[in-house]
Structure 1
């Protein structure tokens, strides 16, 4: 049993699904399943009941969860204090879910490469949760996809992005050259959870144009969104960065219409009272290098 086992267990307990935990931890679902199985074998208990395609934590699991949170917190405190001996600084970087899935790993690798004495910690959630953590000083800086409304936070557009409307290669829209807004009214959609910047941008646009959409799936996991599009014939609106490979491979189809391109920015956000030290400057510089990327031009 290791700290890694406990981190995975905590994430599964918090999310309720192994697939979501795997996405948040940037590991495969089989790896998550194996870690939980090894914990159950180690302690000879059942930690989760598998009912109706969702995990329900057992009384034994709840007891372990309480201990695990304390152990992981103590370990993180130990790491922070010992790293400080060697002048290694920690920086707590937040990212929204889209950013976490398509950019954050490269950003953190580049930060480590440029600044060996800077130790990044990453936290991923939707825009509203990231905003709260910045306000509570639980994060130093974040890269978000949604709009920031609190006046205590500084928000700087940094990375160009846009949403695209996609369907599967087998969907009826995949054979059409163009689709109108009215055509979308009777279609099944997969949507991000409430609090997501991606969802708000699309919903606001549709409401402004008087079009109601029919949500059949709702999830905070981009992988699940893509599965709903590919396997269940839903329409989805996602960052073009998230569906690059599926479009290249012909698995997904971008529905064409001059109006169906919702431009936006991923924005750097930090508290107005935050001191911009060298670590913060390093992170901001790395993020800014992504500004000129235009994926759709590469695809077509």
Structure 2
């Protein structure tokens, strides 16, 4: 049993087929099939069973998968440690869309200035995707605002953030100072995509207060959601950090949740077995220097 066997096994488990795993690893399908047979012989039992056209892990396979991921990750860290000594290395940084819009573009230059030997590769997606890539060692570290579910990841809440209700000038709410939660019932909303931490927090709030809203826009772009608010008379819930210009110039009025139910944290996330390089320690230090968010007395209130 080798790292190569485990790498092939994990690819088959993730992709659900020998052919897809072979394509992703640039191997022939017979090579992948042979590696799986050798593993199954080594461990005295089937690792996959076929249902229809897809392969599913057996109980034995489910037992092996997290251990295989861990061994592959440790091997990659060993390679990185030994091969990159004295050379330039890359930090693979994942950010959720909110964080990648309002924070990491300013954070990365500071990090590279303080760690000139590091090249940062930035990947921006939603919380669910960032979590999966951290678990598969496709990212070294992430900065997210959504909830991380895996117990294999270390989560460090660092920077305060809060969601607000964004209202355009043509919407009836714009001229109000206070609105009630029940005022949101039936209103058309521009929403983030499934897997977004922002959407998850708002949907949990809506379910708790038994309110139904209409999702008429759905996008993974904060700019698209802002434009929908500005020009299409819809509402959106998003980070206060995403629209300082629009708020300052009166194009958008925002309402904050009086009970703090929309408050949250930007979190630094990495695998619990991750070797914490000096660049990751510096990233954490820089995150602690960012100012926490302040609510303006001119903002509206959602009761």
TM-score normalised according to structure 2 size:
0.68
**Equivalence for 2:222:** 222
Look up the match of 1:127.
127
- Superposed counterparts of 1:139-288, under 5 Å: 139-255=139-255, 258-259=258-259, 262-288=262-288
Match of 1:293 in 2: 292
Residue 241 of structure 1: SS of its match in structure 2?
Answer: helix
User: Residue 164 of structure 1 contacts residue 260 of structure 1 at CA under 8 Å; is this kept in 2?
Assistant: no
Structure 1 position 88, deviation (Å): 1.2
Aligned-pair CA distance for 1:299: 7.4
Distance 1:298-1:180 versus aligned 2 partners, 3 A rule: closer
- Helix, strand or coil: the match of 2:258? coil
RMSD between superposed Cα atoms in Å? 2.0
Residue matched to 2:106: 106
**Alpha-carbon shift at residue 288 of structure 1 (Å):** 1.9
Instruction: Report how far residue 255 of structure 1 moved.
Output: 2.8
Question: Mean alpha-carbon deviation: is it higher for 250-259 or for 151-160?
Answer: 250-259
Q: CA separation of 1:261/1:90 partners in 2, compared to 1, >3 Å: closer, same or farther?
A: same
Listed as ranges, the gaps of 5+ residues in structure 1 are: 1-79
Change in 2 beyond 3 A, CA 1:189/1:210: same
Per the alignment, in what secondary structure is the counterpart of residue 255 of structure 1?
A: strand
Query: Equivalent residue of 1:163, what SS?
Result: strand
Task: Tell me how far apart the structure 1 counterparts of residues 256 and 95 of structure 2 sit (CA, whole Å).
Answer: 29
Return the offset for 1:296.
Answer: 2.9
Instruction: Give yes or no for contact 1:178–1:256 (8 Å, CA) kept in 2.
Output: no
Distance between the aligned counterparts of 2:177 and 2:286, measured in 1? 39
The answer (yes or no) to whether the contact 2:164–2:257 under 8 Å persists in 1 is no
Within 5 Å, give how 1:7-156 maps onto structure 2: 87-156=87-156
The higher radius of gyration belongs to: 2
CA shift, 1:295, in A, is 4.0
Taking structure 1 as reference, are residues 145 and 256 closer, same or farther at Cα in structure 2, changes over 3 Å only?
Answer: closer
On the 8 A contact 1:174/1:253 being kept in 2, the answer is yes
Q: Helix, strand or coil: the match of 1:296?
A: coil
1:166 Cα deviation after fit = 1.0
TM-score where L is the length of structure 1? 0.69
Q: 1:258 to 1:120 in 2, by over 3 A?
A: same
1:293 CA drift (Å):
2.4
Give 1:257 shift.
Answer: 5.5
| Contact 1:111–1:283 (Cα < 8 Å) also in 2 | yes
Kindly state the Cα deviation for residue 201 of structure 1 after the two structures are TM-superposed: 0.3
Distance 1:297 1:87, change over 3 A: farther
Give the 3 Å change call, closer, same or farther, for CA 298–87 of structure 1 in structure 2. farther
Contact preservation (8 Å) 2:142, 2:268: yes
